[in-house]
């Protein structure tokens, strides 16, 4: 086993609300907590905590509490913050929903999570209503944050002026959030993260990430994703920094917000790094306020990281994790300039790791010098999930009897504890940080009348970023084109799940048991993204 080079940190036995907000000083209460990136409207910590308490009280008065699951379908806006934490303060569980989901995707998550309420915004209401009704939710249980006749709004909840409930929950076992993850394979599953999981990961990451109270943090990465939820929403609040919200990505707006709000710490995913490194528009904006960018959600190429650092004259860091670990397990710390930008840094405090040979199943020793042999990365710590909701088999397949979570990623570790992800054994595709299960797209492709067989893998586009690529076997005498195959999928899935490259082949390689041999497809992969 190997652990963090940093000393263990204390994990308080508190709910996430108490951990983040109970020790605010009078001076901190007057600091700015959230800024609307578009309008510039600001919310102080004092107002934020008051609104959280009012939302919690109003929901409690509606019999929302421990055992209630509420779906939250909302982009990054200032209003997301009191609603999200208000639900948690009421003792309920939040299942955060991807804003790009189709009504079918939304309904599936509502049903699987057992949600009886849905909170959304008017922009997303048509799809939300369709999904909610399909899931059997009552109209009175659908809250529209910015208001819609016939539905409760955030203003209604705040006006109720009801006191928040007195809660008695066990932070270690009470499920706070239910984000959905594909794990290493198959369809998305509800990841049960406790209050302690969320508290632990902020504690483990805060000193290494290095956000301070004087920072303005651009909140581009979605709060519904565990990356945005932990390292933006929760960690920035714990550090008393100001969040600048961005509801959807637009590169010009991204540059303008950094310039106009003087954002100093920016969390990104690799596709944004590509734009920052290469786009000529960057030269038209003053980005001198940025001292650090941290990339996560997908692998960042070392040369690309160097290009970003040079162009903006800033630090560029990288982190690694999974929804199942709340999500951060490894980071390049803010003060660790000696680590390679191509690595994911070192293990965060309070975690144990080991590498297991995929050939022999034996544990790989940490080297006394140089770099180890590659093996599957296993992690254990207080940030590891309770398990998958209503799926004991998938939980047992992911977390072993010693408490180690099998990440499905192949890594090496150096004598300094530096971890580098070199491959993956899992099938999951990560497109711009979004998880895509190949099996879901394969099942859809097989419904096309001119497709006899199909397989989907992650392939590199022209910028080296991972995209979903389909290998397709057509029926005899079919004239279907790659464009027609992609259009067929596009009409039926959320935007991030679109197939973006197609290659026609004679046969899909499979094992004797019928399992698709994706590794063989990856070795012959040669198409460029469309």
Q: Domain of 451: which CATH number?
A: 3.30.300.30
Phi and psi at 231, nearest 5°, equal -85, -15
Q: What does DSSP assign to residue 222?
A: -
Please indicate, yes or no, if residue 110 is contained in any of the structural domains.
Answer: yes
Q: What is the pLDDT of residue 529?
A: 39
The residue among 212, 231, 176 whose CA lies nearest residue 433 is 231
Q: What does DSSP assign to residue 184?
A: T
Q: What is the pLDDT of residue 185?
A: 57
Contact 125/144 with Cβ under 8 angstroms?
yes
Q: How far is it, in rounded angstroms, from Cα 350 to Cα 509? A: 42
User: b/e per residue, 255-269, with b = 16+ CB within 10 A?
Assistant: bebbbebebbbbbbb
- The CATH number of whichever domain residue 112 belongs to comes to 3.40.50.980
Please indicate, yes or no, if residue 344 is contained in any of the structural domains.
Answer: no
Contacts of 149 (CB under 8 A, 6+ apart): none
Q: Are strands 93-96 and 315-321 parallel, antiparallel or unpaired?
A: unpaired
Domain boundary among the residues 169, 190, 206 is at 169
Q: What is the pLDDT of residue 146?
A: 96
Q: Could you read off the pLDDT tens digit of each residue along the chain, which spans 530 residues? A: 999 999 999 999 999 999 999 999 999 999 999 999 999 999 999 999 999 999 999 999 999 999 999 999 999 999 999 999 999 999 999 999 999 899 999 999 999 999 999 999 999 999 999 999 999 999 999 999 999 999 999 999 999 989 999 999 999 999 999 999 866 556 789 999 999 999 999 999 999 999 999 999 999 999 999 999 999 999 999 999 999 999 988 999 999 999 999 999 999 988 788 889 889 999 999 999 999 999 987 777 788 889 999 999 999 999 999 999 999 999 999 998 788 888 999 999 999 999 999 889 999 999 999 999 999 999 999 999 999 999 999 999 999 999 999 998 889 999 999 999 887 666 778 888 787 878 788 878 988 999 988 889 988 888 778 899 999 999 888 999 999 999 999 999 999 999 999 999 998 887 654 667 877 888 776 443 34
The total of structural domains in the chain comes to 2
Q: What is the pLDDT of residue 443?
A: 79
Contacts of 479 (CB under 8 A, 6+ apart): none
Distances (CA, A) of 44 to 33, 228, 494: 5, 20, 35
**Strand, coil or helix: what is 408?**
strand
Contact 178/198 with Cβ under 8 angstroms?
no
Domain boundary among the residues 100, 134, 169 is at 169
Please indicate, yes or no, if residue 350 is contained in any of the structural domains.
Answer: no
Contact 431/423 with Cβ under 8 angstroms?
no
**How much of the chain is in helix, strand and coil states, percent to nearest 5?**
30, 25, 45
Alpha helices (H) along 150-218: 154-159, 195-209
Please indicate, yes or no, if residue 177 is contained in any of the structural domains.
Answer: no
Distances (CA, A) of 357 to 154, 201, 333, 354, 412: 52, 28, 28, 10, 11
Q: What is the pLDDT of residue 512?
A: 56
Phi and psi at 371, nearest 5°, equal -125, 145
The structure tokens 């006899």 sit at 452
Q: What is the pLDDT of residue 359?
A: 83
Contact 376/412 with Cβ under 8 angstroms?
no
Domain that holds residue 157: 46-169
The residue among 369, 383, 435, 389 whose CA lies nearest residue 408 is 435
Domain boundary among the residues 152, 169, 186 is at 169
**Strand, coil or helix: what is 512?**
coil
Please indicate, yes or no, if residue 51 is contained in any of the structural domains.
Answer: yes
Q: How far is it, in rounded angstroms, from Cα 474 to Cα 505? A: 8
Please indicate, yes or no, if residue 469 is contained in any of the structural domains.
Answer: yes
Please indicate, yes or no, if residue 108 is contained in any of the structural domains.
Answer: yes
Q: Residue 29's Cα: distance from chain center in Å?
A: 28
Q: Are strands 451-460 and 466-474 parallel, antiparallel or unpaired?
A: antiparallel
Please indicate, yes or no, if residue 79 is contained in any of the structural domains.
Answer: yes
């Amino acid at each position: 086993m190997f652990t963090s080079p940093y000393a263990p940190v204390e994990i308080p036995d508190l709910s996430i609300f108490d951990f983040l907000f109970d020790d605010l000083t009078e001076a901190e209460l007057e600091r700015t907590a959230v800024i609307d990136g578009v309008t510039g409207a600001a919310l102080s910590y004092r107002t934020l905590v008051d609104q959280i308490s009012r939302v919690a009280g109003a929901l409690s008065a509606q019999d929302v509490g421990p055992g209630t699951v509420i779906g939250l379908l909302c982009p990054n806006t200032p209003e997301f913050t009191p609603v999200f934490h208000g639900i948690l303060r009421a003792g309920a569980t939040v299942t955060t929903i991807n804003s790009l989901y189709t009504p079918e995707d939304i309904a599936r998550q509502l049903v699987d999570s057992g949600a009886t309420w849905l909170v959304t915004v008017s922009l997303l209401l048509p799809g939300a209503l369709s999904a909610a009704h399909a899931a059997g939710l009552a109209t009175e249980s659908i809250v529209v944050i910015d208001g819609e006749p016939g539905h409760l709004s955030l203003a209604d909840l705040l006006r109720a002026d009801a006191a928040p409930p007195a809660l008695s929950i066990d932070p270690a076992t009470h499920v706070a959030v239910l984000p959905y993850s594909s794990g290493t394979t198959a369809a998305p599953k509800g990841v049960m993260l406790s209050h302690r999981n969320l508290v632990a990961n902020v504690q483990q990451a805060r000193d290494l990430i290095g956000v301070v109270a004087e920072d303005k943090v651009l909140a581009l990465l979605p709060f519904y994703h565990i990356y945005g939820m932990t390292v933006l929403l929760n960690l920035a609040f714990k550090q008393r920094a100001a969040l600048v919200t961005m509801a959807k990505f637009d590169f010009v707006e991204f540059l303008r917000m950094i310039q106009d709000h003087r954002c100093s710490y920016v969390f990104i995913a690799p596709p944004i790094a590509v734009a920052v490194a290469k786009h000529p528009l960057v030269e038209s904006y003053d980005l001198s306020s940025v001292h650090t960018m941290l990339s996560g959600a997908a692998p960042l190429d070392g040369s690309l990281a160097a290009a970003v650092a040079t162009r903006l004259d800033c630090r560029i860091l990288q982190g690694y994790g999974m929804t199942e670990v709340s999500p951060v397990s490894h980071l390049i710390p803010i003060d660790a300039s000696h680590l390679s930008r191509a690595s994911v840094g070192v293990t965060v405090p309070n975690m144990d790791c080991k590498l297991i040979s995929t050939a022999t199943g034996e544990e790989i020793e940490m080297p006394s010098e140089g770099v180890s042999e590659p093996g599957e990365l296993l992690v254990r710590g207080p940030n590891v999930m309770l398990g998958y909701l209503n799926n004991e088999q998938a939980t047992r397949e992911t977390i072993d009897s010693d408490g180690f979570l099998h990440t499905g990623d192949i890594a090496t570790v150096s004598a300094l504890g530096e971890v580098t992800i070199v491959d993956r054994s899992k099938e999951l595709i990560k497109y711009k940080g979004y998880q895509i299960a190949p099996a879901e797209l394969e099942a859809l492709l097989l419904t096309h009348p001119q497709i006899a067989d199909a397989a989907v893998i992650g392939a590199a586009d022209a910028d080296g970023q991972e995209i979903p690529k389909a290998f397709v076997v057509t029926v005899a005498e079919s004239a279907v084109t790659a464009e027609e195959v992609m259009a067929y999928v596009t009409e039926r899935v959320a935007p991030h799940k679109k197939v973006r490259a197609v290659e026609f082949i004679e046969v899909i390689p499979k094992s004797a048991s019928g399992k698709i041999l994706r590794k063989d497809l990856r070795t012959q992969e040669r198409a460029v993204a469309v």
